[in-house]
């Protein structure tokens, strides 16, 4: 396959199988027309059953095999034109959902993005809910979606944390650290997603958060995990910077962690949306290489390394 430089891939994408606007075929065509090296699909993994609540943005359990078959069929159809890969974005919620669950590991995916979208304030002194709901019987309802609207986020901060934003921030990074420790995924999703509803609000001491981010980078550096530089927040006009922030990327640089540029696209136009901002931010962080996904070989992710 002829490579066009600069080379990019797009492996964090949502389609009509979950909360995306476009189907798999249209996304493949868009990626081909934009001359990307590879496109991967990372539908939000089903988790209604596991989290015990209705979630409209996830892949439905009954559609899993259709999803797998359609991506595999696209892989065949686009063979020789663009590499198509099968993945999932899997939520981590302690004791309830992770990439190591058997329904996920049995799918034979090319890659998994591990993401934290929910946190839990915990009950009776527990830092994070354990999934054992015997004590209150309503843990699942108390999960706070940090990726939702500002209104929902503030409701979670008030009701769940009694406005203790620092505790919320710590719970978030605790969850990220637990997910890394547990493993079972290849790419760490939007690692400072928490900023979506908290940026520029001075809810906690910046230094305290940087300390937690350093812990995260150190934990990642001991595993075979790539961190995504995700432009989705810019594409959807929620924030004007990539996940992770420039400060966080400078720490990531210190630990020499591989990064892959992604767009978290929910439509064909965003498939490589704002990649130039990602490249500029990486340059500012003095990171001079980014990784291009090249499939799974010997049960490990395979990457091409591209200079910036
Ligand atoms: Zn989504
Ligand atoms: Zn996500
Ligand atoms: Zn996503």
State the distance from the centre of ligand 2 to the C-alpha of 9, rounded, in angstroms: 18
State the distance from the centre of ligand 1 to the C-alpha of 174, rounded, in angstroms: 23
Give me the percent of the chain exceeding a pLDDT of 70: 92
Ligand with the closest atom to the CA of 18: 1
State the distance from the centre of ligand 1 to the C-alpha of 70, rounded, in angstroms: 19
Pairwise CA distance, residues 279 & 242, whole Å: 10
Q: Indicate if the alpha-carbon torsion angle 239, 244, 248, 250 is positive or negative.
A: negative
Contact present, 186 and 220 (Cβ < 8 Å): no
State the distance from the centre of ligand 3 to the C-alpha of 134, rounded, in angstroms: 32
Q: Residue 1: pLDDT band by 50, 70, 90 thresholds?
A: low
State the distance from the centre of ligand 2 to the C-alpha of 91, rounded, in angstroms: 8
Ligand with the closest atom to the CA of 116: 2
Q: pLDDT tens-digit profile of 48-102?
A: 999 888 889 999 999 999 999 999 999 999 999 999 999 999 999 988 999 999 9
Averaged pLDDT score across all residues of the chain: 92
State the distance from the centre of ligand 2 to the C-alpha of 139, rounded, in angstroms: 22
Pairwise CA distance, residues 140 & 146, whole Å: 15
Is the overall model pTM greater than 0.85, yes or no? Answer: yes
Q: pLDDT tens-digit profile of 221-232?
A: 999 999 999 999
Pairwise CA distance, residues 197 & 151, whole Å: 9
State the distance from the centre of ligand 1 to the C-alpha of 57, rounded, in angstroms: 6
State the distance from the centre of ligand 3 to the C-alpha of 164, rounded, in angstroms: 27
Contact present, 121 and 169 (Cβ < 8 Å): no
State the distance from the centre of ligand 1 to the C-alpha of 55, rounded, in angstroms: 11
Ligand with the closest atom to the CA of 243: 2
CATH class as words, domain 9-307? alpha beta
State the distance from the centre of ligand 1 to the C-alpha of 11, rounded, in angstroms: 13
Residues in the chain: 308
Q: pLDDT tens-digit profile of 226-276?
A: 999 999 999 999 999 999 999 999 999 999 999 999 999 999 999 999 999
State the distance from the centre of ligand 3 to the C-alpha of 190, rounded, in angstroms: 8
Residue 133 in this model has a pLDDT that exceeds 50:
no
Tokens (6 digits) for 254: 């210190």
């Amino acid at each position: 396959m002829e490579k066009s430089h600069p080379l990019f891939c797009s492996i964090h994408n949502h389609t009509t199988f979950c909360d995306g606007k476009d189907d798999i075929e249209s996304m493949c065509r868009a990626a081909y027309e934009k001359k990307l090296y590879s496109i991967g699909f990372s539908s939000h993994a089903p988790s209604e059953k596991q989290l015990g609540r209705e979630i409209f943005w996830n892949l439905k359990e009954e559609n899993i095999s259709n999803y797998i078959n359609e991506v595999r069929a696209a892989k065949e159809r686009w063979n020789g034109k663009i590499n198509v890969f099968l993945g999932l974005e899997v939520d981590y919620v302690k004791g309830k959902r992770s990439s190591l669950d058997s329904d996920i590991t049995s799918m034979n995916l090319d890659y998994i993005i591990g993401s934290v979208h929910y946190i839990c304030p915990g009950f009776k002194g527990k830092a994070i809910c354990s999934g054992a709901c015997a004590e209150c019987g309503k843990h699942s309802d108390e999960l706070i979606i940090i990726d939702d609207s500002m209104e929902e986020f503030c409701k979670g901060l008030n009701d769940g944390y009694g406005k203790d934003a620092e505790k919320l921030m710590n719970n978030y990074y605790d969850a990220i650290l637990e997910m890394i420790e547990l493993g079972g995924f290849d790419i760490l999703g939007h690692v400072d997603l928490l900023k979506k509803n908290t940026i520029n609000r001075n809810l906690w001491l910046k230094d305290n958060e940087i300390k937690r981010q350093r812990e995260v980078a150190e934990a990642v550096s001991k595993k075979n995990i790539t961190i995504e530089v995700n432009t989705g927040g810019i594409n959807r006009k929620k924030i004007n910077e990539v996940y992770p922030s420039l400060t966080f990327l400078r720490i990531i640089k210190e630990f020499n962690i591989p990064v892959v540029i992604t767009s978290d696209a929910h439509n064909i136009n965003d498939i490589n949306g704002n990649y130039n901002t990602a490249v500029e931010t990486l340059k500012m962080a003095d990171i001079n290489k980014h990784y291009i996904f090249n499939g799974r070989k010997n049960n490990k992710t395979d990457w091409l390394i591209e200079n910036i």
